[in-house]
Amino acid sequence: MEQLSKAPIREAILNIIVKLPPNITINDIEKIHDIVKDEYPIKKDFIESKATIGAQFFEASKNKIGFSFFSDNNLQVMQPRLNSFIFNRLSPYENWNAFSSEANRLWQIYKEVTNPEITKLSLRYINTLEIPAKCELFDYLTTFPTVPPEMSQNIIGFLTRLIVTEPSINCSANIIQLPEKTTDNTTTIILDIEVFTNPLYSISNGNLWDAFNILRDYKNKIFSASITQKLKEKYK
């Protein structure tokens, strides 16, 4: 598979969904900041909002379930929560080794504090593709909306979403495409790819990073299949 030296990655997100022992509290999660505060000094609460709607009532609640720890330059974020561990890297994205190594380092800290049971893994890459403002989409994208020939072909906006599964690796993907903005010369297309393990995927700390490598390869396969060779040339 072709390697792109200028991959158009806006944000990479690694997510480990977990189930924690009942004795672990939000205070235990907060203590993680004492360990990572030199590299991630900025701390913000993460609040989960819920709403329950009935025939004759509406009930809303807010609960603090975790934190976001930001690096000084705001390019990396560790998000330890009561139900998950999340690591974000914003552009400029370096490479998979740097991204996964830092995620693993932070995961080891989270794991030591919380003793989690892993239930699901996901990788999400948000890409920004720049194509000419006036062009045929099929010159750059392999999947795109089509308009019946009887209608005007002037597309001013679209949103496509595909959910696909890959039984051979027991994983699935959520793929979203939509235009973000258009200038006189350029249209920016968001290609949002999230790959994740299916419910029956067997996960343990022992095979965690092997599983993420499989997810990464799956994500790369989807990205490569989603754009044409003409667009790949732009990011080589």
The pLDDT of 175-199, averaged and rounded, is 92
Is 3 part of a structural domain of the chain?
A: no
Predicted pLDDT of residue 149: 82
Is 1 part of a structural domain of the chain?
A: no
Assess whether pLDDT exceeds 70 at residue 112: yes
- Give this prediction's pTM: 0.91
Query: Tens of pLDDT along 84-108?
Result: 999 999 999 999 999 999 999 999 9
Greater confidence, 57 or 121?
121
Predicted pLDDT of residue 135: 83
Q: The domain containing residue 225 runs over which residues?
A: 9-234
The token pair at 71 is 């690096």
Greater confidence, 198 or 24?
24
CA dist., res. 75 & res. 12, Å (int): 11
Which residues, other chains included, contact 38 with Cβ-Cβ below 8 Å and sequence gap of 6+? none
Q: What are phi and psi of 40, to 5 degrees?
A: -130, 75
The pLDDT of 200-208, averaged and rounded, is 74
Is 164 part of a structural domain of the chain?
A: yes
Distances in whole angstroms, Cα of residue 227 to Cα of each of 97, 101, 140, 191 = 24, 28, 6, 10
Predicted pLDDT of residue 56: 64
CA dist., res. 56 & res. 165, Å (int): 40
Assess whether pLDDT exceeds 90 at residue 204: no
CB 21 within 8 A of CB 60: no
- Angle 194-234-173 from CA coordinates, rounded to 5°: 10
The pLDDT of 220-230, averaged and rounded, is 95
In whole numbers, what is the pLDDT of the chain averaged over residues? Answer: 91
Which residues, other chains included, contact 13 with Cβ-Cβ below 8 Å and sequence gap of 6+? 86, 87, 88, 122, 123, 124, 125, 126
Predicted pLDDT of residue 54: 64
Is 137 part of a structural domain of the chain?
A: yes
Of 130, 226, 128, nearest in space to 173 by CA: 226
Which residues, other chains included, contact 105 with Cβ-Cβ below 8 Å and sequence gap of 6+? none
CA dist., res. 212 & res. 224, Å (int): 18
Distance from the first to the final alpha carbon of the chain:
12
Is 4 part of a structural domain of the chain?
A: no
Residue with tokens 């000084």: 72
The pLDDT of 61-67, averaged and rounded, is 90
Domains identified in the chain, total number? 1
